[in-house]
Structure 1
Amino acid sequence: MSPTPPPQLRAPRPSRRVGWCRTVLLVAVVGVFVLAGGAAAFAATVPPGAPTAPDLNTVLNNIRNWIMGILALLATVFLSIGGVRYLISNGEPSEVGKAKDSFRNAGWGYGLAALAPVVVEILKQIVGG
């Protein structure tokens, strides 16, 4: 009998879910920087004497509205993806599980969108607005 060769050792690959989460996080971070850069560029082009934001509360309310809109949009995308996955799954347990994960992520997104006003109120308390 010949000896069997030792098994090849490979580094474990990250799961597809981890890769997906990293991609979503990267897109969110890049989106924030793009929005912040666009706001700075817009602020630099305001002519002298033009009206500005009246107070800090208005600015924080606008930030809250943007956060709520972006989170609700992402949650709706996840809800749609989950629905399509559930329809296409044809009862296959792994695909149904992926659809349920998408539904869960959509729920988290809607929950965070609902909590955005609370976060802005906390920010107002911190900065004294």
Structure 2
Amino acid sequence: MSDRRCDRARWPRRFLFGCQLLVLAFVLTASSAQAETVHTVALVASVDQVLTNIRNWIMGILAALATVFLSIAFVRRMTGAGDPGEIEKAKTAFRSACWGYLGALLTPLVIEVLKGFVGA
């Protein structure tokens, strides 16, 4: 019985020693990584091109969301069956679609104002 206690007491030390040997083996055999030096500053030529890309993305996202809201408004109106709550929700979705299309139409104006601030 005393032999088993001795083995149980040595087990954590043996496990720790084995882990240390494993880590040491990984450290000694690991090769150092060499990073390539890349000097890419920007993929666009000017700030004007960045603002144009931003404008196109914003207009696309707003128009897509507005189309989704318009579709939701249409479906709610058609399936509402005269329920005043559903018709009110359809009107709200239609207003949201109008705001989205208005935002998409006004985005070029906002970007032009930003260009004036930036000086592009």
TM class, shorter-chain normalised? 0.5 to 0.7
Paired residue for 2:92, among 84, 89, 101? 101
Tell me, which stretches of 5 or more residues in structure 2 are unaligned?
1-37
TM-score (norm 2): 0.65
Distance 1:50 1:109 in 2: 35
Partner of 2:112: 121
Paired residue for 1:84, among 75, 98, 115? 75
Counterparts in 2 of 1:79 and 1:88: CA distance versus 1, 3 Å? same
Distance 1:97 1:50 in 2: 52
- Summarize the alignment of residues 18-29 of structure 1 with structure 2, pairs less than 5 Å apart: none
- Deviation at residue 90 of structure 1 after TM alignment: 0.5
Partner of 2:59: 68
Structure 1 stretches of at least 4 aligned residues deviating more than 2 Å after TM superposition: 47-52
Aligned length: 83
- Deviation at residue 92 of structure 1 after TM alignment: 1.1
More helix per residue: 2
Deviations 1:40-76 (A, max 9, x none): xxxxxxx546872111110000000000001001101
Tell me, which stretches of 5 or more residues in structure 1 are unaligned?
1-46
Deviations 1:79-112 (A, max 9, x none): 0111111111001111111101100100000000
Counterparts in 2 of 1:51 and 1:97: CA distance versus 1, 3 Å? closer
AA at the equivalent of 1:65? N
Q: Please give the secondary structure, in 2, of the residue aligned with 1:52.
A: coil
Q: CA RMSD in A?
A: 1.5
Distance 1:86 1:49 in 2: 53
Distance 1:49 1:81 in 2: 45
Counterparts in 2 of 1:86 and 1:124: CA distance versus 1, 3 Å? same
